[in-house]
């Protein structure tokens, strides 16, 4: 099957209500394939339901730092108390087939021979691409390691972003519009769809991205979801209260 339109999302973080809202929106978007950029679990209350829905929808992706920490608690060493608490909860919830799904996620994925997917950076799941300096480092790393890749998708920061690098090596953050953004054939891109389950740009909606391969565009989409229900589940699971309140604020 030739893939013409992709949906890419990241950092679902066990937020079932947000993921369901994304799929409801996706049902009208005529995409051929759906992929995620890791951090399927952590922070929120529904890790099992989220993995089951991803499996049912045949969504493949890459591993995030919370996914690997759910498999091996030693990897949660650098986590703050909120994240650590949620990982302990996650580990209690997961059944064997959930563990198998998380274990099967690769560090990175190359798609259609031209799109690279990873969680933090190409160096590790824990590394952020959150500023110009880090974007420059990531572009340089890509140019050395995978010179044939021009476009990469990443997550981890929970903030939508498009970094571009022109042929002179100048790096800039593109303005994010509602309309599709055209990707030029002579530039490199690092693109973050933002987060489905815990957005941090003070916009509490669930965020994801549609890639049109023929038109070479990316389009950011944001959907409302039932935050109150997600919050109730967090409190019922006895997770830290701040994990519930932050969802409404988008922080």
Q: Which stretch binds Zn ion (CB under 5 A): 11-19, 97-105, 173-181, 201-209?
A: 11-19
Q: How far apart are CA 104 and CA 100, in angstroms?
A: 6
Q: Return the number of the residue (183 or 220) whose C-beta is nearest Zn ion.
A: 220
In the complex, minimum distance from the CB of residue 11 to Zn ion, in angstroms, rounded to a whole number: 4
Nearer Cβ to Zn ion (90/164) = 90
3-state secondary structure of 118: strand
Helix (H) or strand (E) holding 50: helix 47-56
Using CB under 5 A as the criterion, what x/- string covers residues 199-218 for binding Zn ion?
--------------------
CA dihedral 193→196→198→200, nearest 10 degrees, is: 30
153, 193 in Cβ contact below 8 A? yes
Burial state string for 186-200 with b = 16 or more CB within 10 A and e = fewer than 16: eebbbbbbbbbbbbe
In the complex, residue closest to Zn ion by CB:
39
Select 150 or 207, whichever has its Cβ closest to Zn ion.
Answer: 207
Q: x/- contact string, 119-138, with Zn ion (CB under 5 A)?
A: --------------------
Kindly give the pairing relationship between strand 181-182 and strand 217-223.
antiparallel
**C-alpha 205: how far from chain center:** 14
Work out whether 49 is an interface residue with Zn ion (CB under 5 A). Answer: no
- Contact between 9 and 37 (Cβ < 8 Å): yes
Task: Identify which of residues 125 and 183 has a Cβ nearer to Zn ion in the complex.
Answer: 125
Using CB under 5 A as the binding criterion, the count of chain residues that bind Zn ion stands at 2
The answer to whether 67 contacts Zn ion (rule: CB under 5 A) is: no
Q: How far apart are CA 164 and CA 6, in angstroms?
A: 20
If the CB atoms of residues 50 and 181 are measured against Zn ion, the closer one turns out to be 50
- Does position 39 bind Zn ion by CB under 5 A? yes
Contact call for residue 11 and Zn ion (CB under 5 A):
yes
Decide whether 37 or 181 has the Cβ nearer to Zn ion: 37
Residues of this chain that interact with Zn ion (CB under 5 A) are 11, 39
């Amino acid at each position: 099957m030739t893939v013409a339109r992709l949906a890419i999302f990241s950092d679902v973080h066990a937020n079932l209500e947000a993921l369901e809202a994304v799929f409801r929106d996706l049902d009208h978007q005529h995409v051929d394939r759906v992929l995620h950029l890791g951090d399927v679990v952590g922070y929120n209350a529904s890790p099992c339901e989220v993995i089951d829905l991803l499996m049912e929808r045949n969504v493949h992706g890459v591993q995030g730092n919370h996914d690997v920490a759910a498999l091996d608690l030693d990897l949660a060493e650098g986590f703050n108390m909120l994240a650590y608490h949620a990982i302990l909860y996650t580990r209690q919830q997961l059944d064997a087939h959930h563990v198998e799904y998380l274990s099967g996620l690769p560090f990175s994925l190359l798609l259609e021979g031209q799109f690279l997917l990873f969680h933090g950076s190409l160096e590790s799941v824990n590394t952020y691409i959150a500023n110009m300096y880090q974007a420059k480092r990531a572009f340089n790393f890509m140019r050395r390691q995978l010179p044939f890749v021009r476009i990469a998708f990443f997550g981890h920061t929970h903030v939508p972003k498009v970094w571009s690098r022109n042929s002179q090596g100048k790096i800039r953050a593109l303005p994010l519009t509602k309309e599709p953004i055209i990707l030029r054939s002579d530039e490199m891109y690092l693109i973050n769809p933002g987060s489905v389950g815990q957005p941090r740009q003070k916009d509490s909606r669930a965020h994801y991205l549609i890639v049109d391969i023929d038109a070479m565009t990316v389009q950011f989409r944001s959907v409302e979801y039932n935050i109150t229900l997600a919050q109730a589940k967090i409190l019922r699971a006895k997770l830290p209260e701040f994990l519930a309140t932050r969802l409404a604020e988008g922080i």
